[in-house]
Amino acid sequence: MPTTQGASVRTIDRAAAVLRALAAGPGAGMRLADVTAAVGLGKATVHRLLGALVEVGFIELDAHAKRYRLGFALYALGRTARRFRVVDLAGPALERLAEATGDTVYLSIRDGDEALCVDRRTGSYPIRTLTLDVGDRRPLGVGAGSLALLAHEPTAEAERIIAAAPEARRAYPQFDAPRLRRMIEETRATGFAFNDGRIVSAMCALGMPVIDAEGRVIAALSIAAIRERMAPARRDELVALLRAEAAGLAQALDPELEIPSQRQAG
């Protein structure tokens, strides 16, 4: 006999399948028979799922046309998911950074125990450091943006991630557990992450976390450039630019957040 937990998970999986089918369907919505065919479940099961999702506002039913479509409550829920909203809101910040520095700028978010690159802008400098494409993943801690994400997790969580991912980091020998712990300490002390050629020897990068009002890391901004463009004096300038844009992005996500407190946290 299936457990109660197993049955609940199965129901969630089926509800998610219904939502995905409607998201992929026509804007005018889908009939019950169309949804049933799309998800491969019984008609009665799909009808129950649709009814439950209508009740919570995730789906709307056009009673006249007998068509189901995604509801406003689902849209509103998605709008409050700040770590995904940050992708939309960060565009102007990335453009400003790329224009001001001439270098390559990245936006990363945490996805499980990995850092996911969700946006990138390239500056005008002719030598570009395109070490990540949008959609690329790295183990948390590997790279400047990824290190900024990991270092600002609670210590217990950071330790769990380090212990859980030695195989994933095997391709990055400069990010073994002892060195990664030292980099986390340095990042916490300075407020920014620095990758000093640990992935590509001729390339360096700086990472800055975007911190919300509760002190949680939402995303990371990073700048990558050839080593010659990361001399200490210029590095300080880049850190200041990153810190200002990270503070502005945090405030855009939460208008009640005071920018000075964000800067002090960096």
Residue (of 1, 230, 252) closest to 125 by Cα position: 230
DSSP 30: B
Reduce the DSSP state of residue 22 to 3 states and report it.
helix
82-265 — its CATH code?
A: 3.30.450.40
What's the confidence (pLDDT) of residue 265?
A: 38
What's the confidence (pLDDT) of residue 71?
A: 87
Distance CA 211, CA 253 (A): 10
The pTM score is 0.69
Query: What average pLDDT values come out for the chain (266 residues) when binned by 10 residues?
Result: 64 91 89 95 94 92 89 70 77 97 96 92 91 91 97 94 90 94 97 95 96 89 96 96 96 68 38
Q: Where are the domains of the chain?
A: 4-78, 82-265
What's the confidence (pLDDT) of residue 214?
A: 81
What's the confidence (pLDDT) of residue 261?
A: 42
Beta-bridge partners for 196: 204
CB-based burial, 97-113: b 16+ in 10 Å, e otherwise: bbeebbbbbbbbbbeeb
4-78 — its CATH code?
A: 1.10.10.10
What's the confidence (pLDDT) of residue 263?
A: 37
Is the separation of the CB atoms in 100 and 75 below 8 Å?
no
Q: What angle do CA 61, 66, 67 make, to 5 degrees?
A: 60
